Structures are given as C-alpha cells and as structure tokens.
Amino acid sequence: MKPVKKLLESEVFSLIREKNRSISSYQKLWSAKAPSKLTPLSHVGGIRDDILTVYVENSGIASKLKFIESTLLKDLNEGIQKEIPYANPIKSLKIKLVIKNSKVSPAPSKNFPIQAKLAFKNLLSSLEDSPLKQRLSKLIKQHANTD
C-alpha cells in the first residue's frame, strides 16, 4: 500500500491533478460564457501558450464559434480575471472538430431480392458456357436468398 501512496503523491501525479483542475476551471468558465445552445456540443480540451483548445462535434458548431470568437474571447477573459486569477488571458481559440461515430450503419445485406435472382437465373440460362456464365453462377450462389 505504501508504494501506491508514494506514487500518488509523486510529482507526476500532482502535475496531472493540477492540469485536471485547470481544465475543469476552464470548462466551467466555458459553460458559463459560451452560447447555451453550443455548450452541450463542445468542451474544453486544454490550454497551451494562452490558446484555449475547444473540441466540437460538427463543423456547423465550429463555424458558429469562429464567427463569435472575438466576443467570446472578451467574455472568457473577463471571467478569467474573476474566477481564475492566476491564469493568463486567452489570446485565441483553437477549435478542433471531433467526429463521433454515433451511427453504426448496418451491414449491407448480401442477399439479392427475389426479382433480381430470377433475372440473373434467366440470364444465366440464355448464356453459353463462358467465364461470364461461370462468374454469374458463382455470384448467384454467394448471394442467394434461402428459398
């Protein structure tokens, strides 16, 4: 138990905790100052060299934030002076698009509709023996519906 306690009290973990507190502070500020319609769709990723990184879910949100960036920076810097006095003012926003794959597309069906299967069988019966006929026969077997 002592090695774990020693590890948690180490300098690396204290830096991680401090960074987490900093991001939490900026996230609270972001939630208060950003437009209420955009806050659920965006979050603070961190701050580096006085540039606040904000992650957004789509390009529409990113363009809206870019459009209001100057007024948003002014509001954020006013909030920083009041709520995070040890922090430097933000120079600019870095808006990054994070694409979330929330829609899982269903796998395409490998079965042909019955009408297509009948049309291919008719075509197959009218063809003479050739590589096309062999390939078409193989295709029908691979994608055939269970009758």
Domain extent listing, the chain = 2-97, 106-147
Q: CA-CA distance, 79 to 81, in Å (whole number)?
A: 5
pTM summary value: 0.57
54: left (phi over 0), alpha (psi -120 to 50) or beta: beta
Q: Quickly name the fold that domain 2-97 has.
A: GMP Synthetase; Chain A, domain 3 (3.30.300)
Q: How confident is the model at residue 52 (pLDDT cuts 50, 70, 90)?
A: confident
The pLDDT of residue 106: 65
The answer, yes or no, to whether residue 40 has pLDDT greater than 80, is yes
Q: How confident is the model at residue 133 (pLDDT cuts 50, 70, 90)?
A: confident
